[in-house]
A and B are shown apart, each in its own frame.
Chain A
Amino acid sequence: MNLTLRVWRQSGPSDAGRMVTYKVEDVSPDMSFLEMLDVLNERLIVEGDDPIAFDHDCREGICGMCGMVINGVAHGEQRATTTCQLHMRHFEDGAEITIEPWRAAPFPVVKDLVVDRSAFDRIIQAGGFVSVPAGSAPDAHSVPVRKEDADAAFDAATCIGCGACVAACPNGSASLFTAAKITHLSLLPQGQPERLSRAKAMVDQMDSEGFGGCTNTGECTAVCPKGIPLDTIAQMNSDYLKANAK
């Protein structure tokens, strides 16, 4: 396959940035999207150009490091798929592909397609944990957990922190990410003691990072590679309301 890529290039945080067009030839349909970019980058390096910087690590859809907006869709149009798991067989020969970084004020561009997602870490720092120092835990069977709760908590806990939800949200909201963690811990007995303070602290942190507010558009779940459901946001809202009512 031959493709035309339009890629966002920005040499650093202070550069204005622009879209640059590249032709890539002989792309195999079995390549992953990132492998296609690898091939382009190998060429750019040899030609003495700056290769396109992008984040990636596990390349199997679990670390959450990769992510770009492909043809206007975070992680590309293939559902429930991270960029690294997207394969070129889903594109047509001769296609033109636009590639942009996650766009949100709290995710400033570091270089090209690499953005700074440390705001997510700070949201977790605000309260996304159970305070239990190593060595202080009771026997694992001392508190049974309903299977349904454990399963639902697991579903919320599968969030990989990629940030696609923010990238896709017309409001630039981090609600899905934040809600996923709040819900995970809210559904388990171990998370109860800190439940309300956690919700309040995390939501407030999300706000002060400069993320937008949620208007339940559902764009986030639609692109979320782990399919985190919207009702996690309801759970977050409910906990947040209760925390404020106290």
Chain B
Amino acid sequence: MTATIERGSATAPVNTPAAKKTPTRKKPGGFLTSSNGKKVVMAVTGAVMVGFLVLHMLGNLKIFFGRDSFNDYAHALRTLLEPIAPYRSVLTILEIGLVLAVVLHMWAAISLSYRAGKARPVKYVAKKSQANGYTTHIMRWGGLTIVFFVIWHLLDLTFGVVNPKGFDSAPADRMIAGFDPSRWWVTLLYLVAVVMVGLHLRHGIWSAFQTLGWANRDRNKVLRATAGLISIVLVVGFLAPPLAITFGVVK
């Protein structure tokens, strides 16, 4: 009935079951391979992107001051620091930085979700979120939506590939044509994407505070509110121009 285990010599010092039970564990690597390190990358690159979005939004709002104002702004972007730096050089550097941030951000996001997948190889039969499931869904799916949008957005307004006016037109024309009432579905798409960005940032900005260790009991309310406020301002700021164009306020 009982296990047939070698009785062994009585003077044997000890059975050492500890040895056989030790699970295989990875040696910790450097900061960037740690899950916390990746979160920091995400937070920093996220902050860079938020900074970009704020500037971008401010620029977009120029459309309310007339086509020229907007075109001048677009031009100024390309001639930043000219003549010290050649045409479009600073912008290109900024763009490269931005792309780098996006890439690093995505790299961290993907490797963290890969890690998460490995940490839960067997899924639950029933699983119910107790924190309303917001973050889990919004952050990863929202992030993906944003990627697709950004690609389309670049094709539309930067390269003009899918824009009725094409590449060689003035930026303001591209924008106004892009959101023409007849292209209401573009506006709709834009709306969905921008709201997604807002939702992503509502959690993301607070999450970055948390990741960088700034959040605490006393500050939490303020930080949450800050994250919410920035998100709302960005959403409103980004949606105002296209909606105004689609509804004919700006022509």
Chain A residues proximal to chain B, CB less than 8 Å: 6, 8, 19, 69, 71-73, 77, 98, 100, 103-106, 108, 152, 168, 170-173, 203-219, 221-223, 229-231, 233-241, 244
Contact = CB atoms under 8 A, between A and B. Distances in A.
A218 B133 CA distance: 9
B130 A214 contact: no
Contacts of B136: 170, 215, 217, 219
B206 A216 contact: yes
Contact of B124 (A103, A206, A236, A237): A103
Contact of B25 (A168, A209, A213, A215): A209
B163 to A, nearest CB: 36
A100 B120 CA distance: 13
A206 to B, nearest CB: 8
Contacts of A222: 130-131
Contacts of A238: 212-214
A73 B210 contact: no
A69 B122 CA distance: 13
A98 B118 CA distance: 24
A171 B129 CA distance: 13
B153 interface: no
A236 B214 CA distance: 11
Contact of B217 (A73, A108, A206, A231): A231
B36 A212 contact: no
B34 A100 contact: no
Interface in B201-251: 203, 206-207, 209-217, 220
Q: Which 4 pairs of residues, A with B, have the shortest CB-CB distance?
A: A238-B213, A213-B35, A172-B119, A72-B128
B211 A237 contact: yes
Interface of B: 23, 25-28, 31, 34-40, 112-113, 115-116, 118-131, 134-136, 139, 203, 206-207, 209-217, 220
Contacts of B34: 203-204, 207
Nearest to B126: A72
A59 B116 CA distance: 32
Contacts of A19: 125
Given A212-B112, A212-B119, A234-B209, 16 more contacts: A72-B124, A105-B118, A172-B116, A208-B26, A211-B35, A212-B115, A212-B118, A213-B39, A215-B136, A216-B211, A217-B135, A222-B130, A230-B210, A234-B216, A240-B36, A241-B36
Given A73-B130, A208-B27, A229-B217, A215 B112 contact: yes
Given A69-B124, A208-B27, A216 B214 contact: no
11 contacts: A69-B124, A73-B130, A171-B112, A171-B116, A173-B119, A204-B28, A215-B207, A216-B135, A217-B134, A239-B213, A244-B37
Contacts of A223: 130
A105 B220 contact: no
A78 to B, nearest CB: 11
User: B27, B129, B203, B214: which has the most chain A beta carbons within 10 Å?
Assistant: B129
Contacts of B28: 204-205, 207-208
Nearest to B121: A105
